[in-house]
Amino acid sequence: MNVSRLLESVAMYISLTPDETQRFVSFLKSRKMRKRHFLYQEGDTNTQLAFVVDGCLRSYSVDRNGFEHVLQFAPPGWWIGDMRSLLTQRPGTLYIDAIDDSEILLILKSDLEQVYTTIPQFERYFRIITEKALIAFQHRLIGNMSLSAKERYESFCRLYPTLIQRLPQKQIAAYIGVTPEFLSKMLNQPAADK
């Protein structure tokens, strides 16, 4: 089990003793996921959080017309899950799948609670991680309201420069909030520069 990437992330914000580290790791389960395979589907109760070691996952919802909307891409080093389902312990509204062959570390909600009570420093770690996620989503929301589709695309390219190359356009469209058709037209008609 390759936990070094996660321990690096943890070490950025808190200091653990070898024993604490050991106990934390004992709660983790490693899992390989093949491209296009699901971690959860809508209606499942999400009882775990996933840390991406290698590959890339995504979470998305499907609206009543069948259109997908990407909530998050999770490259290596990122956490992903259906936070709402995790918190409420009720069936979620998100799908989470692998967009590449991936390796992830899972921790169950119940074990996470264990971690919080036995190694309180993790409250801090996840507080900070969550704050950063919150800031990112706030920023994205503002962007969605104040930028044009073209600007959102450019902003996306800046944010995920590595992802942009291996993601199908369709996924990018579902992230920035336009139809695949429109994104295609936009990219092939740079006639007017601004």
Candidate segments 4-12, 17-25, 39-47, 118-126, binder of its own copies by CB under 8 A:
118-126
Does residue 148 touch DNA according to CB under 7 A?
yes
Nearest CB to its own copies, comparing residues 145 and 192:
145
Residue 30, strand partner residues: 105
Residue 103, strand partner residues: 32, 54
Among 37, 139, 166, 185, binds its own copies (CB under 8 A): 139
Does residue 179 touch DNA according to CB under 7 A?
yes
Shortest gap between Cβ of 185 and DNA (angstroms)?
Answer: 5
Does residue 126 touch its own copies according to CB under 8 A?
yes
Candidate segments 3-11, 49-57, 60-68, 98-106, binder of its own copies by CB under 8 A:
60-68
Angle made by CA atoms 113, 103, 58, in degrees to the nearest 5? 80
Identify the residue whose tokens are 């070691």: 53
Q: In Å, how far are 6, 43, 98, 145, 194 from 52, measured between CA atoms? A: 8, 23, 10, 30, 37
Shortest gap between Cβ of 34 and its own copies (angstroms)?
Answer: 26
Q: Which helix (H) or strand (E) holds 38?
A: strand 38-40
Query: Which DSSP symbol is given to 60?
Result: E
Among 43, 77, 120, 168, binds DNA (CB under 7 A): 168
Q: How many residues bind its own copies (CB under 8 A)?
A: 32
Dig out the tokens for 70 from the structure. Answer: 């990407």
Nearest CB to DNA, comparing residues 158 and 194:
194
* 104: CB partners within 8 A, 6+ apart: 30, 31, 33, 39, 50, 51, 52, 53, 55, 57
Does residue 146 touch DNA according to CB under 7 A?
no
Dig out the tokens for 5 from the structure. Answer: 């990437």
Residue 98, strand partner residues: 57
> Residues interacting with its own copies, by CB under 8 A?
61, 63-64, 67, 69, 71, 83-84, 87, 116, 120, 123-124, 126-127, 130-135, 137-142, 144-147, 177
> Residues interacting with DNA, by CB under 7 A?
65, 67, 148-150, 168-170, 177-188
